[in-house]
Structure 1
Amino acid sequence: MNSIQKKILLLTSLVLIFMSSIWITLTYYNNETHKQYNEILKRYLTMNDVTTASQQSIADLNSYLRKPISSNIIRFEHSKENVRKAKRDVLKLENKANQFTLTTYVSLIDSLVETMDRSVIFFDENNQEASAKEFEEATRISSYISEMTLTLLDKELTTYDIFYRGIMQQAEEVIRLGIWLLLIMTAILFIATYWFSLSITRPIQQLTQAANDLSNGRFKKPIKVESNDEIAFLAKTFDRMRININNLIGEIKHKAQLEHELQQNQLLLQEIQFKSLQSQINPHFLFNTLNTLSKKAYLEGSEETSDLLVSVAGILRYNLKQVDRSVSLREEIFVLKQYIEIQKARFTDRLHVRYEIDEDCLFVPIPALTLQPIVENAVIHAVEPKVEGGQLIIRVKDLQNKVVIEIEDDGSGMTPQKMEEILQEKPVQLEGHSTGIGFPNVVKRLRLFFGEYDVIRIESTQGVGTKVMIFIEKRGVKQDDESLNRR
């Protein structure tokens, strides 16, 4: 066990011992006092029960004499039994001080029971006058019992007055004892706390001084702490850290020199790459050339070729303008139609496309080049492998708070593994004649753009077809051109 833990346990043990001692002492005296109070109170209540039982029995007897029914006689017998029980309880209270009075008191109770019994007997024999006389006698005895109860209570108060004063004095002594115990415990805790804190704060001050030296850059000064607990171990660890930092500073200086040389090499490499780019074909030149070829084909009567060149030029212009920007769904659909026209020129009657577009939903923003890679994937995997070709359905639907874009084909479908790879944004092998923008890349861009994971879903059944659904929230989508191009 470590030294600081031993000190804490010792201090805690002292506190627990003193607190337990005080608690046990006070609890013992408190229980004794409660027992004495309860004994006195029990004597008073027992005597009072006699008065209550005698009065109740007189009342029940009167009820029976007025209305002699079975329920009243049962109630009277019950009250009479309570009187006998009260008498037995009173007999337990006998002592030298109340012996004579208590004997007379018990005799009165017996007389009360006998008188009430005679009243009932006369009543049952239809001797109303004798019964009434006995009832009056029982009432008078009940009054005597009440008066004698007060006499007994007065004697009890006189007898236990000295005892009560002793209890009060004992309570005062307990309070004084508690105060002394608290003072002693406070003094001991103060001394123990001072000793405990001094054994910790002094090494911490030495460690703090060493930390100040390190903060001022004096890494060569050894760290020494005079202690035999965990702080000494901390000081040794701190000293090893000082040595490691000193060595690390030397390594950082060496790495900084290497990084400077690397930056110089990177600048040289960028210059080489820039010169390499200069030697490539200018995309704008290619765009202008396509426009020229389109006009020439139109003038020569090749209108279909001219339209095809216009679509290619439109896609090229769209790609040049919309890099890293958002566009409206209307623009994306327009360019998608140009791409499909190019594919129709390739597949002729094998490619069938149906549009179901809600024009009121075309204002929502979407990342550029989102729909074309999805349609391209459908053309490559759903239309091209089939001799008879295939059908694509492009829908834009309004679902209250959302706009849903669906691209559905009737191809051979995807395997669950393939759908999982796409939704997990895993790179896939690109087809040789694709545009180079992968389906997983589209998924990643949509999630980044809208800040939601469940923005795209794929439903596919092998041998039936595949449906790709994109969900766009309507909130805050009616934006101006500046907000549309913020990304």
Structure 2
Amino acid sequence: MNTIQKKIWLLVAIVVFIMAGIWVTLTYYNQKMQDQYNEILQRYLQMNEVSASSQQLVTSLNNYLQAPSSSRLANLETDRHELIVAQEQITNLRNNGNHFTLTNYLNLIDSLVDSSDRSVRFLNAKNNEESLNDFADATRLSTYISEMTLTLLDTELKTYDQFYRGMIKQSVELKKLGIWMLALITLLLLLFTYWFSLSITRPIHKLTQAARELSRGRFEMQIEVAANDEISFLAKTFDRMRININNLISEIQHKAQLESELQTNKLLLQESQLRSLQSQINPHFLFNTLDTLSKKAYLEGSEETSDLLASVARLLRYNLKRLDRPVTLYEEVKVLREYIAIQQTRFTERLRYVEEIDDSCLFVKIPGLTLQPMIENAVIHAVEPLEDGGTIRFRIIDGGAFVIVEIEDEGMGMTQERIAQILEEREADRQDGHSTGIGFSNVVRRLRLFYNREDVIAIESSEGRGTKVTLKLLKEREAGDYAEAVNR
């Protein structure tokens, strides 16, 4: 959705982009002109450096000829090296305008260096006359170099005169371009601002007209705003409100017409409720009926059927106890065996049940209906889906200050995400026709409330490798109002 905030950010981005573009352009041209100025100035300085180096070389040569010494010879060598370096630098200054002059200039420098070297060699050979002649040549060459430097500088000035004029003209044109760009940008920003403000004020104007019509009781007028922002959302909500009010008025009128019919139907409904109450079965009547059927089956010689009916009756009676009342592990194990007996009748050899119980641990208190839902979960997911059935192992072990209860099956297991869902109590309790309706997460929540601890239960499982549920029960749990916690 193109919100108003995004439109504002778009306007800001356009302005910043234009300003950045202008700044980059001006900076680029300014840097370009500055680099050109520096290049020309560097040419002048390099030519002047050659002239100064040649004069310094002649001075050092004169000093050495008058009083030869190792220090003066070292100074002479230094000046000679600086002149050669300066000569190498100005070699890169060659162009079409100074090609001939610069070639002569470089030759003069070579001649000066040679004359200086010969003067020193003749002096070392005790040939003072030749040494002085070469010194005179070096002095003359140095003068020629200075004059040639002026000639080169004059040539450079003539060569770059047109460039200077072009730079001045370019600067003037750049100022004009800046003025035109400023005018163009101002015009574009004005047009964009007008469009932006219109995209906000036009829908608001339509909403104002629609509100005026609604205040006059005209609910049939449809509100349409061609936009895709918060104002459009507001207009759509306003239109839905208009439709809802219109429907509400129609519904009120319709209800007024049906009022007399509702009064008549109310009497019929009360009669139906009475008949529904009469059809409900008293749980105690159900228990008595199951006991009667169990005794009758026993008298008729159907002992297995009698035991099954008795187990069902005891299981139903236990399941209807209040869940906020704690029971002992002994009671839970007892009803668990009833449940296993019923399931073994159903699955026969497909259900294999193995238990290992330390009778000294059966005094521990536990919330009612804790073990059966866990075993039932193992039966549903680890025995029922498999053609060969499966084995469920149930253990109660003395763990010192704790009693360890383990329920292990050989089913398909579960994912870590499913385990986290159960332990975080995010499982939706399912009642799929063969479940007690006590979900696994419900058991986890009641155990944690009962013992006031989070680590009371642990689940180990992986897909295809079965599941192991471990309860870590305190023999002496912390005092707390469990019933009040469960009711909350």
Could you state the TM-score of these two structures normalised by the residue count of structure 2?
A: 0.49
Could you state the TM-score of these two structures normalised by the residue count of structure 1?
A: 0.49
Higher RCO (CA-CA < 8 Å; seq separation 6+): 1
